[in-house]
Amino acid sequence: MLMKYPLKKPFSLAVEEVVKLIQTNTVEGISHHEAEKRGRAYGPNSYKTQKQKSLWLILLLQFKSPIVYLLIVGAAVSLYFKDILETTAILAVILINALIGFFMEFQARSSMNALKKMDVILAKVIRGGKSRSIPSEQLVPGDLIPLEAGDIIPADGRLVAVNRLQCDESSLTGESLPSDKTIAALKADTVVGDQHNMVFKGTSVINGNGKMVITGIAANTQLGTITSLVESSADTSTPLDKKLNRLTRKLIWITLVMTAIFAVTGFIQGKALLTIIETSIALAVAAIPEGLPIVATIALSYGMLLMARRNAVVKNLSAVETLGSTGVILTDKTGTLTENKIHADTLAFPDETIKVQVEKNHLNFPDGAVKLSAENFDKLLLAGILCNDAVVETEDKSAKQALFSGDPVEVALIQMAIAAGLDTRALIKQYVRVAEVPFSSEIMMMGTLHQIPSGYFVAAKGSVENLLEKCTKLQSGALIKKLDSESRKAILLKSEKMAAGGLRVLAFAYRMGEGFDTHNYLNELVYIGMAGFLDPPRLDIKGAILSCRKAGIKVVMITGDHPQTALNIARKVGLIDEGDDAVITGKELPQTELLTKAWRQRILETAVFARASPKQKLEIADVFQKAGSIVAMTGDGVNDAPALKKADVGIAMGIRGTQVAKETASIILKDDSFTSIAQAVAHGREIFQNIQKFVVYLVSCNLSEIFIVTILGVAIPGATLLPLQILFLNMVTDIFPALALGLGTGDKTVMLRPPRAPEKNIITNKKWLIIALYSASITSAVVIAVVYCKEVLHSDDRICNNIAFITLTFAQLFHVFNMSSDGEGFINNEITRNKWVWIAMLICSGLTIMVFAVPGMRLVLGLSVLSFTLWAVATVASLLPLLVFQAVKAVQKMKSRRG
């Protein structure tokens, strides 16, 4: 019989059947010879990691833009006509933009190779009956692996022996509580989070010991499946990229129309072909907003630096703006909304129920201390200390805090006892443990027998139902009463209510006296009470979620945890209202191809998803994206990686996050705080407002250049702006003011408005109308100045060209003040308060004066020394657009006040 690999659903098979199918032995494992043979047949226990882009590819991708393509064409045309200066200037623009983008991405690129690091571990293996340690990549299907507390699971495997074995699978399933392991076969439809007879690569053993037979290596592991999902999740163009590209295409069409008008008019007028070609080149240069990619890159880079100061490390520039347009945040529960630490939350005794909190090693009672059940409380703490295998590892004297290892629930019991003022070490020494019944899935409880001067003391804890079967009495304050059927029903009902509230419930019991049967002491116990445990929400979460909800952002929890636990946390953090119990579990969620319109709508309306698999997280993200939302995904586990990549912006936790999540995400939170996400969203919105302002500024300036070249080319050809003059304007007097707008502080009310509709362009129809008016006013000012000089001052064509250049230069500089919000005044607004605007004005004015003052520069740009009168005419004309629009704004403000 040939070995079967990979095995289908090994969790549904009995141990004997798995051993037979994979041809191994539960005592001796496989032989060395067989291991070598299988290694050649199935390959190493490793998988392809995400391939990082090469430095050359990063550099080449900086040139992937329609604007850059147009600039390259313009440079080629200039070179054809042997205009070396213009060719050099255009190529310099392209190179500067590429270098800025390259160095920012190179600096932000992650140097981590996370998946490979997860593989570089030594694994213990039994081959030929002997135990040895080998690199995990040399493991093969059928290998027998011994497991102990602290081990990292090196491959997927079917358990063949367990002894109180517990594994931490939170990074894979999202379940914060440890998984108790068994060897019994399970149903064929059991989900990963409930496959308690399996262990999975990349998870860890936290308690007990056992043995596993490897049933999956490399790509045939759960971790390998997730890796393939990450690889198959295609990167998509960012909303900003798409909008800038659409804008560029519009400008190209406008240029083609204007060029056609000019060419036809020129031919009719009998103009020389060379003049028509040179003016057409000028039109092309005027249409291309050369500064747009540079300013966008620098503005986003500046945003990246500011976000880093706010604990959000951005790995790629576009994520800064994308986060600002986010309409949906998909978040994990464990470690993101919660602390990923198990705390005692509720103590339920026969006579009263109390809430407890452990804060800074002090036990607090939010609703009042124990009144009727002091004896129950003391006994529960004692039983929790004695029936416990958690240990204090070290003492951190600087922090004055003990470090624990063991089951998180048992650690929580020790912490509660210490916070209550008990000396746990002294009590453990005083109550000498002489016997133990370890926890198992069969009896669902644990018991310990202790020697004391008066005889023996039994401590027990376990599931409420199972432990009650061993109890005959109950502690009621200072009295011990008979445990009757009514009391049992009341206790079970209370435990069900606690579980429905999202708590993990354990019952406690004890017995003390003499003459114990040391082999069968878990009977005739005295019931003490129950403790409900919770992974509590982070303290700063509620305000952050409220901020997101006010901003119109839907926050959705997707977790591998129990539905009731998920709902309880969701209510506590303000994700859903108190009466809301809508939750979708992974088991009931249909596959993507079976999703009906009704199901898609239900998904869009639901805020809590429980028991979700990694693949389902990916599918949920896809549903929201197809509904038109910009999706941000937060997470820290391996299971989050595919959705982190699929989302428009992936956000990984920096402290608790696995390396896989950090590598996949585009933003990493240094403090793991959801609050930092809200701050980052606000800053992203501010950045988009700034981008919108400088795009409006640049496009209105460029359109005015197109109109001016066309009008002057038809009416006064000798006064038409030269291509190099336009390039100077675009690179100097456009870029610096636009950059200053990109570095502004933005609107402080950004988080009080809903997110932008993702399908909306950067420039809406209303903005296009405003841009047209801006461009018309600037064009009119330049034409008026040229006509005045031509007809009144009788200047020649060269002087008229210079007047057009100066007027347009300063009209564009003054135009930056038109970018202020309508609600603010002319003197005091976000533009005048922006120090970068004033610096830009000084730089641009200085550079303009310099090109006239330096003879060599005058010659290159075709400029002349002008009289004071001509400078005065150009300056006055350049102020006209600003004065006109500020007057219009003032009138509108007066009308709105009267209204």
Q: What does the alpha-carbon distance between residue 151 and residue 212 come to, in Å, rounded to a whole number?
A: 12
Higher pLDDT, 269 or 816: 816
CATH number at 429 reads 3.40.1110.10
pLDDT for 108 equals 44
Mean of pLDDT values over 759-763: 72
DSSP string, 656-699: T--HHHHHH-SEEETT--HHHHHHHHHHHHHHHHHHHHHHHHHH
CB 649 within 8 A of CB 642: no
Q: Which residues of 271-292 are buried (b: 16+ CB within 10 A; e: fewer)?
A: beeeebebbbbbbbbbbbbbbb
- Considering only 9-18, 223-232, 446-455, which range has the smallest mean pLDDT? 223-232
Average pLDDT, the chain: 82
- Read off the pLDDT of residues 769-783 as tens digits, 9 standing for 90 and up: 998 999 999 999 999
Counted domains in the chain: 4
Residue count of the chain, please give it.
899
pLDDT for 113 equals 40
Q: Is residue 421 part of a domain?
A: yes
CB 332 within 8 A of CB 560: no
Radius of gyration of the chain (CA): 36
Q: Is residue 96 part of a domain?
A: no
Q: Is residue 358 part of a domain?
A: no
- The DSSP element (H or E) to which 85 belongs, if any, is helix 84-108
Q: Measured between alpha carbons, how far is residue 586 from residues 12, 332, 613 in Å?
A: 19, 14, 7
CATH number at 826 reads 1.20.1110.10
User: What's the pTM value of the predicted model, to 2 decimals?
Assistant: 0.60
Query: Helices 674-715 & 797-815, crossing angle to 10 degrees?
Result: 160
CB 694 within 8 A of CB 739: yes
Q: What does the alpha-carbon distance between residue 139 and residue 214 come to, in Å, rounded to a whole number?
A: 8
In this structure, how many other beta carbons lie within 10 angstroms of the beta carbon of residue 41?
11
CB 317 within 8 A of CB 297: yes
Among 529, 557, 572, the domain boundary falls at: 529
Peptide bond into 6 cis (omega under 30): yes
Q: Are residues 399 and 501 located together in one domain of the fold?
A: yes
pLDDT for 803 equals 95
Higher pLDDT, 92 or 329: 329
Which pair of structure tokens corresponds to residue 366? 């939010």
CATH number at 626 reads 3.40.50.1000
Q: Is residue 62 part of a domain?
A: no
Higher pLDDT, 669 or 464: 464
Q: Are residues 894 and 815 located together in one domain of the fold?
A: yes
Mean of pLDDT values over 583-587: 90
Q: Are residues 407 and 519 located together in one domain of the fold?
A: yes
pLDDT for 16 equals 93
Q: Give me the torsion for CA of 598, 604, 608, 610, rounded to 10°.
A: 60
- Read off the pLDDT of residues 7-27 as tens digits, 9 standing for 90 and up: 889 999 999 999 999 999 999
Of 683, 810, 694, the C-alpha closest to 741 is 694
The catalytic residues are: 332
Among 652, 672, 692, the domain boundary falls at: 672
Mean of pLDDT values over 472-497: 93
- Considering only 105-119, 287-301, 367-381, 672-686, which range has the smallest mean pLDDT? 105-119
pLDDT for 782 equals 95
Terminal C-alpha separation, the chain: 90
- Read off the pLDDT of residues 92-129 as tens digits, 9 standing for 90 and up: 767 876 775 576 556 545 433 433 443 346 788 999 98
pLDDT for 359 equals 84
CATH number at 213 reads 2.70.150.10
Beta bridge partners of 184: none
Strands 343-348 and 525-534, by their bridges, are: antiparallel
Q: Are residues 177 and 301 located together in one domain of the fold?
A: no
Q: Are residues 855 and 761 located together in one domain of the fold?
A: yes
Q: Are residues 494 and 559 located together in one domain of the fold?
A: no
Query: How would you classify residue 456: left for phi > 0, otherwise alpha for psi between -120 and 50, otherwise beta?
Result: beta
Mean of pLDDT values over 724-734: 75
Domain span holding position 476: 366-529
Q: Is residue 93 part of a domain?
A: no
Backbone angles phi and psi of 441, in degrees to 5: -70, -15
Q: Are residues 294 and 379 located together in one domain of the fold?
A: no
Q: Is residue 233 part of a domain?
A: no
Among 480, 510, 529, the domain boundary falls at: 529
Q: Are residues 550 and 507 located together in one domain of the fold?
A: no
* Helical spans, DSSP H, in 120-238: 170-173, 222-232
Q: Is residue 97 part of a domain?
A: no
- Read off the pLDDT of residues 843-867 as tens digits, 9 standing for 90 and up: 999 988 898 888 888 887 888 888 9
CB 687 within 8 A of CB 299: yes
Q: What does the alpha-carbon distance between residue 21 and residue 13 come to, in Å, rounded to a whole number?
A: 10
Residue 395 pLDDT more than 60? no
Burial class for 769, CB neighbours closer than 10 Å (0-12, 13-18, 19+): exposed
- Considering only 2-16, 345-359, 473-487, 802-816, which range has the smallest mean pLDDT? 2-16
Q: Are residues 135 and 249 located together in one domain of the fold?
A: no
Q: Are residues 455 and 563 located together in one domain of the fold?
A: no
Range among 326-340, 439-453, 754-768, 868-882 rated most confident: 868-882
Q: Are residues 383 and 271 located together in one domain of the fold?
A: no
Q: Are residues 391 and 435 located together in one domain of the fold?
A: yes
Q: Give me the torsion for CA of 18, 20, 22, 23, rounded to 10°.
A: 150
pLDDT for 318 equals 67
pLDDT for 100 equals 59
Q: What does the alpha-carbon distance between residue 414 and residue 411 come to, in Å, rounded to a whole number?
A: 5
CB 247 within 8 A of CB 763: yes
pLDDT for 250 equals 76
Q: Is residue 572 part of a domain?
A: yes
